[in-house]
Structures are given as structure tokens and as C-alpha cells.
């Protein structure tokens, strides 16, 4: 073949771009699975942080979530209005201590089931072999089973 007829080589693939593309796919799948529960990935993350650290403060939630304290206040207010969390020390001048309600705990259990379905679909035994390898590598790197 002459140079005119040669196909260009595929572009060099960036690990960052591959991981970002995969993250977007996972987020899209999770969003669809969580939608029937009236949850978003962000809202689930915040609820999970609150469940994982009972009595957590707004400041700590902001640090854990990577968002502003003002955004945490807004999000927690919405979670509280939905009956999913409560502030056990909501007194003027005292630090807040936020915790998940029984309804919030039930929602987290339902979300865990939805997440397990997404994990199985994307990374389970019937998934693309490349995605299964990614699953194995991530679990090995982070000590999961």
C-alpha cells in the first residue's frame, strides 16, 4: 500500500479519558436505576455519608462531599423535608448533628439493591470481559471482594 492508502493509526488512548468515559457510563446507569427511588447519585452520596457518620455536621458533610456548606444545607433541608434525615440538635447556636431516619435507611437499602443490579450488569459474569477485568482490578486495588 502506498502512504495515500494507509489508514491512520488509532489515536493514543489516555487512561484519564477511558476512566472518565467509564465513569459517565456508570453514572448514567446508576441514575436510571435510582430514578424510580426518587434519588440522584449526588443525593444518594449525601445520604450515604450521613448514614455512615451518624451525627455528622454540615461542615463535615461538605468536606466529605466536596461541595459547599451552603449546598449541603440546601440538600439536607430537602432530605429532611422528604423524611429521610433529621437534625437532632437543631437549636440556635448549637452545632447540628444530622442522622438518617428509618425511612432514609429503608431507601438506602433499596438503593443498595439497585446499585448491585447495575454492578452485575456492567461488571458481572455476563458483562464485557474488559469491564470484568476492570472490576477485578478495582476490587483488588481497594481490598474489596
Query: Mean pLDDT of residues grouped by 10 in the chain (145 residues)?
Result: 67 84 96 96 94 89 92 93 87 74 97 97 95 94 80
pTM: 0.80
Q: What cell was used for 36?
A: 424510580
Q: CA of 24: how far to CAs of 41, 75, 77, 93, in Å?
A: 12, 22, 28, 41
Residue 92 pLDDT: 56
Instruction: List the helix and strand counts (H, then E) for the chain.
Output: 6, 2
Specify the pLDDT at position 7.
77
Quote the crossing angle between the two packed helices 41-52 and 15-34, to the nearest 10°.
90
d(CA 136, CA 27): 19
Domains of the chain by start residue, with CATH: 41-141 (1.10.10.10)
pLDDT for the residue 68: 94
Amino acid at each position: 500500500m502506498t502512504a495515500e492508502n494507509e489508514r491512520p493509526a488509532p489515536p493514543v488512548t489516555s487512561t484519564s479519558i477511558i476512566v472518565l468515559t467509564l465513569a459517565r457510563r456508570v453514572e448514567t446507569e446508576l441514575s436510571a436505576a435510582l430514578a424510580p427511588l426518587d434519588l440522584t447519585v449526588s443525593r444518594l452520596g449525601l445520604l450515604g455519608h450521613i448514614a455512615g457518620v451518624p451525627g455528622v455536621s454540615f461542615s463535615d458533610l461538605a468536606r466529605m462531599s466536596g461541595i459547599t456548606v451552603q449546598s449541603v444545607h440546601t440538600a439536607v433541608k430537602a432530605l429532611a423535608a422528604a423524611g429521610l434525615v433529621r437534625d437532632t440538635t437543631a437549636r440556635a447556636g448549637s452545632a447540628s448533628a444530622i442522622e438518617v431516619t428509618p425511612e432514609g435507611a429503608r431507601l438506602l437499602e433499596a438503593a443498595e439493591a439497585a446499585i448491585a443490579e447495575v454492578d452485575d450488569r456492567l461488571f458481572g459474569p455476563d458483562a464485557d470481559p474488559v469491564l470484568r477485568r476492570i472490576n477485578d482490578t478495582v476490587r483488588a486495588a481497594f481490598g474489596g471482594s
